[in-house]
Structure 1
């Protein structure tokens, strides 16, 4: 059962439930307006908590491995977007999902799963904390900027407006900064109630997903997307992941990184954050487009968990065999 939990994220089942609920009972009219306000409040709370969780000690303790962190950030915000631009030429899937593939490649790395898999593979956990935290911190600013620069080329159609930038500042950056500045006051509370706040995090994401897919369903999402297109989308997500896993594996050897740091590069460099992607998509894109744009992010999330769980166990077994 534990291995099944490693391969299949239980939270994904809740996300799928929200998609199904939105598909059969989408929020409409006044209810949709109330839900939109609640989702915006959830985004503010989510990024406030992200800021409050960010430990300065962890950053300073692991920041010495600068070569590793530059390689990870370069993979996340340069190599991935180049692959995303290439995927924009796949005409077999609808335009919004192509935009979603590009958006996926512009997201920062995950935090929890990157650190967890690094620990399983007996890598440099402190460096993983730093790489993943830096990636998420920069992603709040870099992801919207990259969307503004690249989405026209990748099929997004110029979706970032001045009002979107204002929402980024008010709903993402400002709450994040306030949360981090409040850490001396609330840091001990956050540490004591990490499990409860984790449920608040996930509850906010579920609310945002339901709101985004409700709007997309009302606009006729499932009349525009076929099962074959969904299968092709999943295959493209898998191809992206395999390409980046191979790239990070090779880059670690080219740079001569120690085994523990090479593990960090592979796991932090190959991940994309669902927890960050959902609220950013909700802020950046019109409600009717946020749903289909998030489909690749949700598919990639599960594929990366399954693949990295297997790789982490393989690395751990190799170390155990050599001990």
Structure 2
């Protein structure tokens, strides 16, 4: 139960809230803006370098055979999710920039760590989860900007040469370098998981602070009313409910076994904060980044809470089936 509670209520959420409050009260000004821009660029490069170093090639290969499952996860992540985002966007419930951020979150890759953790709790196929989530995350670095430029050009999101160059040198190359150096630094990364986690989260907090500082200076909180945050929350809950239903139905349609269906639910219903915040900083105008990442930050916590409950349900159901099998075998 404590493991479930920890997964549902991520302490990182409170750090994110504190960072937003800090940016609201003490936004960066003048030369501080340039300093934080430099620090943020360095932090993002380090973040993706460590993400590459953490990616286990052996774990990928061990779960790579389930192509039907991986195809289903990618379909959910990069096709069904965006279609749902476009559908909700047509309701015109949100501020245009916030609506663009909402659509942007549907284009992001899956998470890695939490998808694997929930699959483990639910007693799903962990090797396949590692492969699906990792491949989704890697593919998303290139595919998300392409989808964003295709679907969000009216919102000012255009994949220019400058954006593409930043993605290449700040995200893809550090990720590839980290993975290629894994034979040399992999043991150190594994032995210092807590330090690496602090570095990862610290990088995200720095990016969030920089983004919200710029947004606050541009009058962010004069543009967002409490009622709009409530509507955004309802939209995020509706989006998650729809994708969880869609992944469950897709698993039934493809006749996946129980352990693979669990992987599809958890890897196919998540969106990555780690990839999303840096990509938003590259693709959106500086003044819009803070408002654009609000939907992602909110959806991030909602998905953790809902998936923790779902994982517990699957684990309990599996335990009941195991007990029934033991009783039948004993008879």
TM-score when normalising by structure 1: 0.97
User: How far apart, CA to CA, are the structure 1 residues paired with 2:289 and 2:9?
Assistant: 24
User: How far apart, CA to CA, are the structure 1 residues paired with 2:9 and 2:91?
Assistant: 28
User: How far apart, CA to CA, are the structure 1 residues paired with 2:160 and 2:29?
Assistant: 25
2:289 aligned with 1:285 = no
Q: CA deviation at 1:309?
A: 0.4
Conserved? CA contact 1:160–1:285, under 8 Å? no
2:131 aligned with 1:162 = no
2:111 aligned with 1:103 = no
Q: CA deviation at 1:88?
A: 2.4
Matches within 5 A, 1:214-253: 214-253=213-252
* Secondary structure of 2:164 counterpart: helix
* Secondary structure of 1:310 counterpart: helix
* Secondary structure of 1:291 counterpart: helix
Number of residue equivalences: 321
- The 10-residue stretch of structure 1 (159-168 or 267-276) with the greater mean CA deviation from structure 2: 159-168
User: How far apart, CA to CA, are the structure 1 residues paired with 2:37 and 2:285?
Assistant: 12
2:66 aligned with 1:65 = yes
Conserved? CA contact 2:157–2:284, under 8 Å? no
**In the alignment, which residue of structure 2 is the partner of 1:273?**
272
Unmatched runs of 5 consecutive residues or more in structure 1:
none
**In the alignment, which residue of structure 1 is the partner of 2:49?**
48
RMSD: 1.1
User: How far apart, CA to CA, are the structure 1 residues paired with 2:112 and 2:129?
Assistant: 8
Matches within 5 A, 1:1-323: 2=2, 3-152=4-153, 155-322=154-321, 323=323
User: How far apart, CA to CA, are the structure 2 residues paired with 1:158 and 1:209?
Assistant: 19
Q: CA deviation at 1:287?
A: 1.7
User: How far apart, CA to CA, are the structure 2 residues paired with 1:181 and 1:120?
Assistant: 31
* Secondary structure of 2:148 counterpart: helix
Conserved? CA contact 2:156–2:284, under 8 Å? no
- List, as ranges, runs of 4+ consecutive aligned residues in structure 1 with deviation greater than 4 Å: none
* Secondary structure of 1:110 counterpart: coil
User: How far apart, CA to CA, are the structure 2 residues paired with 1:271 and 1:31?
Assistant: 34
Q: Deviations over 1:238-258 (max 9, x none)?
A: 111000000100111110101
Q: Deviations over 1:32-68 (max 9, x none)?
A: 1100110011000000011111111111110011000
User: How far apart, CA to CA, are the structure 1 residues paired with 2:174 and 2:119?
Assistant: 29
Q: Deviations over 1:89-121 (max 9, x none)?
A: 232321110000110000000111101111111
Unmatched runs of 5 consecutive residues or more in structure 2:
324-331
Q: CA deviation at 1:198?
A: 0.9
* Secondary structure of 2:292 counterpart: helix
User: How far apart, CA to CA, are the structure 1 residues paired with 2:229 and 2:158?
Assistant: 23
